[in-house]
């Protein structure tokens, strides 16, 4: 009997705002406990919420990127339950009328096939606080700094049928929200949290009971957790058991999921429209304003890089992998006079990206700026240095030794283009290798490469290779 | 509609309000009296009526995204029942 | 002194006849004399009051005073006051000292109105008699056996007894107008959104509205000028041009069309109350008004609708009282659940618990549509009745309550009959309309108010009518003998 896997994801993306969704308290990460929890965030008596303007534009932006309906009239509801990190005893969220309606996102799988994943909705809500244990024996400490932080909860349709698809979707969404600049994507700090709803069914049968895997903070572990959970459910069902609807925690050390202790009764959240907030109305003009301010999306950028710069599909994919890298690349191209975008792409994808990777740095923190890299590429283009020398120059720039020009100058790396000097080098090499010259003349023309290598070596790598080639051929055919 | 023990216990759990065993009956009765008042609504045809959540047809006003609050946790926690190292304390939560 | 109008008091302050300190001390003395018996104040703040009065006197001396500068005020104990206990007359908040002021409190402080103290009320404003207070019931100054009404019963009593010249109140289902009627004073509930709710402990957010409680309509107009206005901290506060509510006071009532709903004079209305109300309406005719019959066919649906919606909102609004960050916490909690359950069960009184439970039930799975949603639909029907009626008239007049003040303890065990006594005031809150109660006579030797309801934002018109009525009547000037 073959099994079908059904996965839907709920992603909580923290919106990049300075202040909270309903109060003027800061959202900055890592502050001292409760130092960013104002009376509104604490739910003190008489305190009232006022909605942060910034969350609306950011939500619309995601909606447009997902080709989704924008809720022209969205409503905040209260989700009622008691928990220490939920100060008001309810979470302000959107239930019936979310700000973003049905949309879709196309993902690409490892084998290159594409699949469209439906996005059911995305709604605004406030985050809860954080509990810490072990501060005082037998007590839990509550820090409400995170309380009221704006979240956009993005709910997918149950369209994914493997852990790999789920991760591809999550990664794509992760890339998208960062591209749009609406979420910093930091998974360690909890800015991007993925909950997976996993169920299995026999082919052709109705949907099975799902388990929810919560708050896993890396894509690798999301994949492993789903894989484990799928196997667990299949084994359970094949041995005659039943899947229970529950939340399960993933343990990375044992690579297993385990049930969270839950109360026997299902939650009854008693959603109802929050009477302290009024309906949010979004006009066509609002949507147009967001559209006009929207950054180019990855897919469009990719296509443009191929058509406008003549890049390979592969280079285009790598360059648009993050908005920062793509923008870095375009700056470099512009600074080099847009004459050789391919050369720029090679340097950004290999030299630059590789160095970032090696040092674990984001683009913004790279010691080599777009200006520095462009300065070096210009020197390759005007034949001042060869590609090989450029690698040396790049490493020196990365170490902070200065601009390409100052490094070339200081290290004497400028390419030798004086044909007199090169001729002298060629003469010396040919003089030192009479038997090879004879062999060449007897028809072994592939010896040319050997001579080129010798001349380059003699020049310390600085001779212009094409000139060396030219002069060698001329002299050998004398 | 009249409430029984099960309903009272359910509401008690939802609201975190204790109802002692010996009070269940009287609480059930008082709540049932109120529900009887609600029953008057049943007969009304509201098929064509849109629910009204707010007395005014106003829309939500938006606040500029700016930090306007300062750290005042000491002041706010001066009236808290139990605090340690700026954390609010509750009996251990088991997860 | 306590029989002066606010304007007269202000003139005496400005002319130097009296100082704010003298005026404030005068009221503080009356409070110490009478309040131990009346129990209208939860907290009296003599030191603060005198200090604020001194400040007001300095301001008056510099000529920078406003009309209300130096005139003392009593705040209902539901308005948060920085540094002074705000209890909502609940054990839950018996230890609660807010680190902020309600918007209304800020406004009146800015003007320089000394705070005499905080007035008693039904616990969390849930009640119509002020008997559910943790601090015991307030007595009606007209008859100590009677309730002062509620929930702003303390505020109404301090005005009636001359223990404050002005008081703030809040009205969720009649909590300003019904006690005003029971105590023979003037009180207005403004249009929802006119007065900021910031810093007012919420009962039912889509109904709660604060307003003034004073001796006369003119006094209320001056006070509403100070209380009303846009506040960006309340999403439901309306951005409108500043209104001068005293501007229309002197207008003639010639040509005013008064709608009288036939449904308001039916079964359940006490005959002597009906008499008082009808006579008052007849007097309006003498002032040049004309009377037309209007209909509010859905008025009976208002009470059930309100008692679903307000408790539903309350059940959620009061979840924040969990013993964790402020307010009452039970001793020696065994675990988290025990902490929640005992803190809430020990901290809340019976009526509050009942409304939380009813409200949660109305929202719970399986009942939401039948109760909550249905009630929201009825809310619209009740509102539409008014919209329709106001096409035929300028204002609607009728009784505030079916009876004059009832006796303490009389309805304490019968919630439903207590709820039903709000039948005339509740529809106004469902619709969010403004409404005034002015003293219009007596029934069984207890005061009776006339209820005047207007279209949205007609506060100035309502106060104009009240003021004109008070030019030809003296009900608002009468005081219970022992307090004269």
Locate the chain C residue with the closest alpha carbon to A91: C316
**Considering only residues 2 to 41 of chain B, which have any Cβ-Cβ distance to chain C shorter than 8 Å?**
7, 10-12, 14-18, 27, 30-31, 33-41
> What residues form DSSP beta bridges with C292?
C259
**Where would I find the H helices in A190-278?**
219-238
pLDDT tens digits along C389-427: 999 999 999 999 999 999 999 988 888 888 999 999 999
Look at residues C26, C130, C24, C113 and name the one whose alpha carbon lies nearest to residue C75: C113
- The per-residue pLDDT of chain C, averaged, comes to 97
> A263 pLDDT band (50/70/90 cuts)?
very low
Domain boundaries, chain C: 6-239+462-483
Instruction: Identify which of B33, B61, B91 has the shortest CB distance to residue C415.
Output: B33
Instruction: Find the domain containing B30 and state its range.
Output: 5-39
Which residues make Cβ contacts (< 8 Å) with residue C304, sequence separation at least 6? B37, B38, B39, B40, B41, C375, C378
Check residue A449 and give left, alpha or beta (phi > 0: left; psi -120 to 50: alpha).
Answer: alpha
pLDDT tens digits along C68-93: 999 999 999 999 999 999 999 999 99
Residue A264 has pLDDT above 50, yes or no: no
At residue C316's C-alpha, the angle toward residues C312 and C319, to 5°, is 140
- The per-residue pLDDT of chain B, averaged, comes to 93
- The per-residue pLDDT of chain A, averaged, comes to 91
Question: What pLDDT score does A416 carry?
Answer: 81
In three state form, how does the secondary structure of chain B look? CCCCHHHHHHHHHHHCCCCCHHHHHHHHHHHHHHHHHHHCCCCCCCCCCCCCCCCCCCCCCEECCCCCCCCCHHHHHCCCCCEECCEEEEECCCC
pLDDT tens digits along A224-236: 999 999 999 999 9
> What residues form DSSP beta bridges with A256?
A251
Residue A11 has pLDDT above 70, yes or no: yes
Look at residues C181, C190, C252, C188 and name the one whose alpha carbon lies nearest to residue C218: C188
**C348 φ, ψ (degrees, to nearest 5):** -95, 150
Whether residue A280 contacts residue A99, with contact meaning beta carbons closer than 8 Å, is answered with yes
Residue bearing tokens 């909102």: C313
pLDDT tens digits along A109-155: 888 899 999 999 999 999 999 999 988 899 999 999 999 999 999 99
Catalytic pick from C90, C129, C175, C404?
Answer: C175
Rounded Cα gap, residues C150 and C408, in angstroms = 12
Kindly state whether residue B31 falls inside one of the protein's structural domains: yes
Question: What pLDDT score does A261 carry?
Answer: 59
Rounded Cα gap, residues A345 and A219, in angstroms = 28
Using DSSP's 3-state secondary structure scheme, residue A400 falls into coil
Most confident of A193-207, A264-278, C381-395: C381-395
Rounded Cα gap, residues C371 and C362, in angstroms = 5
Query: What domains, with CATH codes, occur in chain A?
Result: 3-285 (no CATH), 296-411 (no CATH), 419-476 (1.10.10.410)
Whether residue C217 contacts residue C97, with contact meaning beta carbons closer than 8 Å, is answered with no
Rounded Cα gap, residues B62 and B84, in angstroms = 36
Pick out chain C residues at pLDDT < 50: none
The two three-digit tokens of residue C140, written as one number: 């009606």
Least confident residue range of A179-183, A189-193, A250-254, B69-73: A250-254
CATH match for C6-239+462-483 among 3.20.20.30, 3.40.720.10, 3.90.1300.10, 3.20.20.140? 3.90.1300.10
**Do the Cβ atoms of A45 and C202 come within 8 Å?**
yes
Instruction: Identify which of C88, C324, C364 has the shortest CB distance to residue A270.
Output: C364
Which residues make Cβ contacts (< 8 Å) with residue A456, sequence separation at least 6? A463, A465, A468
Least confident residue range of A319-328, B3-12, C84-93, C225-234: A319-328
**A303 φ, ψ (degrees, to nearest 5):** -65, -40
**Do the Cβ atoms of C316 and A39 come within 8 Å?**
no
Which residues make Cβ contacts (< 8 Å) with residue C223, sequence separation at least 6? C6, C68, C166, C212, C214
Using DSSP's 3-state secondary structure scheme, residue A55 falls into helix
Catalytic pick from C20, C76, C90, C237?
Answer: C76
Question: What pLDDT score does A262 carry?
Answer: 57
**Where would I find the H helices in A239-295?**
284-293
Rg (CA), chain C: 21
> What residues form DSSP beta bridges with A116?
A106
In three state form, how does the secondary structure of chain C look? CCCCCHHHHHHHHHHCCCCHHHHHHHHHHHHHHHHHHHCCEEEECHHHHHHHHHHHHHHHHCCCCCCCCCCCEEEECCECECCEECCCCCHHHCCCECCCCCHHHHHHHHHCCCEEEEECCCHHHCCCCCCCCCCCCCCECCECCECCCCCCHHHHHHHHCCCCCEEEEEECCCCCHHHHHHHCCEEEECCCCCCCCCCECCCCCCCCEEEEEECCHHHHHHHHHHHCCCCCCCCCCCCCCCCCCCCCCCCCCCCCEEEEEHHHHCCCCCHHHHHHHHHHHHHHHHCCCEEEEECCCCHHHHHHHHHHHHHHHHHHHHHHCCCCCCCCCCCCCCCHHHHHHHHHHHHCCHHHHHHHHHHHHHHCCCCHHHHHHHHHHHHHHHHHHHHHHCCCCCEEEEECCCCCCCECCCCCCCHHHHHHCCCCCHHHHHHCCCEEEEEEEEECCEEEEEEEECCCCCHHHHHHHHHHHHHHCCHHHCCCHHHC
For helices A448-458 and A419-432, the axis angle rounded to 10 degrees is: 120
Rounded Cα gap, residues A205 and B45, in angstroms = 41
pLDDT tens digits along C352-363: 999 999 999 999
C377 is catalytic: no
Rg (CA), chain B: 23
**Do the Cβ atoms of B33 and C329 come within 8 Å?**
no
**A139 φ, ψ (degrees, to nearest 5):** -125, 155
Rounded Cα gap, residues C144 and C142, in angstroms = 7
Locate the chain B residue with the closest alpha carbon to C239: B61
Question: What pLDDT score does A282 carry?
Answer: 97
Please count the structural domains in chain B: 1
> A1 pLDDT band (50/70/90 cuts)?
low
Q: Is the dihedral of CA A464, A466, A471, A473 positive or negative?
A: positive
DSSP tag of A297: P
DSSP tag of A414: P
Kindly state whether residue B71 falls inside one of the protein's structural domains: no
DSSP tag of A190: T
**Do the Cβ atoms of C198 and A48 come within 8 Å?**
yes
**Do the Cβ atoms of A45 and C93 come within 8 Å?**
yes
Distances (CA, A) of C200 to A66, A144, C102, C211, C233: 42, 23, 6, 12, 12
Rounded Cα gap, residues C154 and C148, in angstroms = 7
Look at residues A96, A151, A118 and name the one whose alpha carbon lies nearest to residue A9: A118
Residue B58 has pLDDT above 50, yes or no: yes
C-alpha C455, offset from chain centre: 19
Q: How many CB pairs under 8 A join A and B?
A: 120
**C436 φ, ψ (degrees, to nearest 5):** -120, 145
Question: What is the H or E stretch that residue A154 is in?
Answer: strand A150-156
Whether residue C372 contacts residue C328, with contact meaning beta carbons closer than 8 Å, is answered with no
DSSP tag of A446: G
Enter the pTM of the model: 0.90
Which residues make Cβ contacts (< 8 Å) with residue B30, sequence separation at least 6? C354, C415
Upper half-sphere CA count for residue A404 (Cβ side, 13 Å): 23
Longest dimension (CA), chain B: 58
What is the pLDDT averaged over residues A371-377? Answer: 92
**Interchain CB contact of B66 with C (< 8 Å):** no
Whether residue C437 contacts residue C187, with contact meaning beta carbons closer than 8 Å, is answered with yes
Helices (H) and strands (E) in chain A, counts: 17, 16
Neighbours of chain B (3+ CB pairs under 8 A): A, C
Task: Report the residue count for chain B.
Answer: 95
Residue bearing tokens 């800061």: A26
Whether residue C277 contacts residue C397, with contact meaning beta carbons closer than 8 Å, is answered with yes
Look at residues C69, C51, C92, C86 and name the one whose alpha carbon lies nearest to residue C10: C69
**Considering only residues 57 to 76 of chain B, which have any Cβ-Cβ distance to chain A shorter than 8 Å?**
58-69, 71-73, 76
C151 is catalytic: yes
Whether residue C281 contacts residue C291, with contact meaning beta carbons closer than 8 Å, is answered with yes
Residue A2: CB atoms within 10 A of its CB come to 5
Whether residue A80 contacts residue A269, with contact meaning beta carbons closer than 8 Å, is answered with yes
At residue A164's C-alpha, the angle toward residues A160 and A166, to 5°, is 40
* Residues of C in Cβ contact (< 8 Å) with B18: 341-342, 344-345
Question: What pLDDT score does A467 carry?
Answer: 86
């Amino acid at each position: 009997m073959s099994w079908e896997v059904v996965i839907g994801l709920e992603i909580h993306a923290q919106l990049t705002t300075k202040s909270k969704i309903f109060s003027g308290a800061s959202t900055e990460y890592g502050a001292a406990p409760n130092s960013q929890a104002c009376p509104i965030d604490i739910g003190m008596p008489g305190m009232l919420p006022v909605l942060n303007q910034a969350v609306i534009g950011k939500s619309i932006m995601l909606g447009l990127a997902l080709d989704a309906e924008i809720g022209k009239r969205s409503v905040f509801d209260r989700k009622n339950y008691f928990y220490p990190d939920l100060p008001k005893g309810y979470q302000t969220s959107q239930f019936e009328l979310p700000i973003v309606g049905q949309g879709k996102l196309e993902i690409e799988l490892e084998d290159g096939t594409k699949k469209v994943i439906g996005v059911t909705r995305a709604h605004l809500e406030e985050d809860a606080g954080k509990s810490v244990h072990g501060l005082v024996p037998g007590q839990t400490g509550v820090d409400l700094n995170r309380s009221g932080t704006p979240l956009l909860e993005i709910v997918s349709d149950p369209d994914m049928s493997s852990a790999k698809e789920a991760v591809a979707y999550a990664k794509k969404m992760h890339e998208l929200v960062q591209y749009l600049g609406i979420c910093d994507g930091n998974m360690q700090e909890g800015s991007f949290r993925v909950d997976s709803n996993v169920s299995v069914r026999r082919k052709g049968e109705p949907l099975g009971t799902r388990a929810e895997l919560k708050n896993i903070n890396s894509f690798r572990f999301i994949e492993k957790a789903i894989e484990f959970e799928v196997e667990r459910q299949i084994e359970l069902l094949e041995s005659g058991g039943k899947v229970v609807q529950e939340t399960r925690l993933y343990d990375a050390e044992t690579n297993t999921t385990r049930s969270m202790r839950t109360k026997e009764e299902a939650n009854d959240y008693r959603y109802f429209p929050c009477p302290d907030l009024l309906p949010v109305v979004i006009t066509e003009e609002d949507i147009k304003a967001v559209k006009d301010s929207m950054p180019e999306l990855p897919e469009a950028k990719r296509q443009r890089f191929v058509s406008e710069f003549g890049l390979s599909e592969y280079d285009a994919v790598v360059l648009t992998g993050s908005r920062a890298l793509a923008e870095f690349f375009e700056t470099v191209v512009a600074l080099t006079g847009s004459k050789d975008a391919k050369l720029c792409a090679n340097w950004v994808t290999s030299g630059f990206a590789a160095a970032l990777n090696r040092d674990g740095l984001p683009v913004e923190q790279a010691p080599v700026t777009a200006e520095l890299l462009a300065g070096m590429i210009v020197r390759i283009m005007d034949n001042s240095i060869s590609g090989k020398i450029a690698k040396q120059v790049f490493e020196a720039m990365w170490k902070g030794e200065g601009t390409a020009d100052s490094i070339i100058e200081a290290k004497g790396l400028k390419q030798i283009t004086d044909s007199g000097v090169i001729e002298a080098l060629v003469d010396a090499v040919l003089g030192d290798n009479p038997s090879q010259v004879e062999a060449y003349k007897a028809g072994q023309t592939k010896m040319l490469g050997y001579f080129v290598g010798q001349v380059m070596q003699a020049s310390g790598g600085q001779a212009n290779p094409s000139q060396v080639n030219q002069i060698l051929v001329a002299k050998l055919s004398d | 509609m009249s409430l029984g023990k099960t309903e009272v216990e359910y509401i008690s759990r939802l609201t975190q309000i204790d109802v002692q065993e010996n009070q269940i009956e009287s609480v059930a009765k008082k709540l049932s009296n109120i529900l009887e008042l609600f029953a008057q609504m049943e007969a009304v045809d509201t098929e064509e009526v849109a629910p009204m959540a707010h007395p005014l047809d106003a829309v939500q006003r938006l606040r500029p995204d700016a930090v306007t609050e300062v750290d005042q946790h000491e002041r706010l926690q001066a009236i808290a029942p139990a605090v340690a190292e700026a954390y609010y304390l509750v009996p251990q939560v088991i997860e | 002194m306590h029989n002066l109008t606010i304007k007269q008091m202000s003139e005496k302050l400005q002319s130097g006849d009296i100082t704010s300190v003298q005026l404030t001390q005068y009221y503080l003395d009356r409070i110490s004399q009478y309040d131990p018996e009346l129990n209208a104040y939860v907290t009296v703040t003599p030191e603060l009051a005198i200090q604020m009065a001194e400040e007001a006197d300095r301001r008056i001396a510099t000529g920078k005073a406003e009309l209300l500068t130096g005139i003392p005020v009593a705040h209902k104990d539901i308005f948060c006051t920085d540094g002074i206990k705000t209890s909502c007359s609940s054990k839950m908040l018996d230890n609660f000292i807010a680190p902020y002021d309600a918007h209304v409190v800020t406004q009146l402080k800015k003007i320089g109105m000394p705070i005499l103290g905080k007035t008693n009320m039904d616990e969390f404003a849930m009640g119509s008699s002020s008997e559910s207070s943790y601090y015991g019931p307030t007595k009606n100054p007209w008859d100590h056996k009677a309730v002062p009404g509620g929930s702003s019963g303390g505020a109404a009593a301090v005005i009636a007894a001359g223990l404050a010249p002005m008081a703030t109140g809040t009205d969720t289902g009649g909590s300003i107008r019904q006690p005003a009627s029971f105590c023979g004073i003037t009180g207005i509930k403004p249009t929802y959104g006119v007065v900021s709710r910031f810093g007012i402990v919420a009962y039912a957010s889509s109904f709660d509205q604060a307003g003034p409680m004073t001796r006369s309509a003119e006094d209320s107009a001056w006070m509403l000028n100070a209380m009303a206005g846009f506040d960006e901290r309340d999403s439901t506060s309306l951005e409108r041009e500043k209104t001068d509510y005293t501007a229309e006071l002197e207008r003639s009532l010639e040509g005013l069309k008064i709608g009288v709903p036939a449904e308001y004079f039916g079964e359940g209305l006490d005959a002597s109350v009906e008499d008082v109300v009808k006579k008052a309406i007849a007097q309006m005719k003498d002032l040049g008004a004309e009377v037309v019959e209007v209909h509010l066919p859905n008025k009976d649906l208002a009470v059930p609708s309100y008692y679903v919606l307000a408790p539903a909102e309350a059940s959620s609004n009061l979840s924040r009282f969990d013993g964790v960050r402020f307010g009452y916490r039970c001793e020696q909690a065994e675990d988290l659940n025990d902490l929640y359950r005992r803190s809430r069960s020990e901290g809340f009184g019976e009526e509050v618990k009942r409304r939380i439970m009813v409200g949660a039930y109305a929202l719970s799975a399986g009942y939401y549509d039948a109760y909550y949603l249905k009630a929201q639909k009825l809310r619209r029907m009740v509102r539409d009745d008014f919209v329709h009626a106001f096409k035929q008239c300028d204002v609607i007049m009728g009784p505030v309550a079916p009876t004059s003040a009832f006796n303490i303890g009389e309805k304490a065990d019968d919630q439903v009959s207590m709820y039903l006594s709000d039948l005339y005031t509740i529809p106004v809150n469902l619709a969010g309309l403004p409404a005034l109660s002015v003293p219009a006579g007596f029934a069984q030797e207890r005061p009776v108010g006339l209820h005047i309801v207007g279209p949205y934002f007609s506060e100035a018109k309502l106060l104009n009518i009240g003021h004109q009525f008070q030019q030809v009547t003296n009900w608002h000037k009468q005081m219970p003998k022992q307090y004269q």
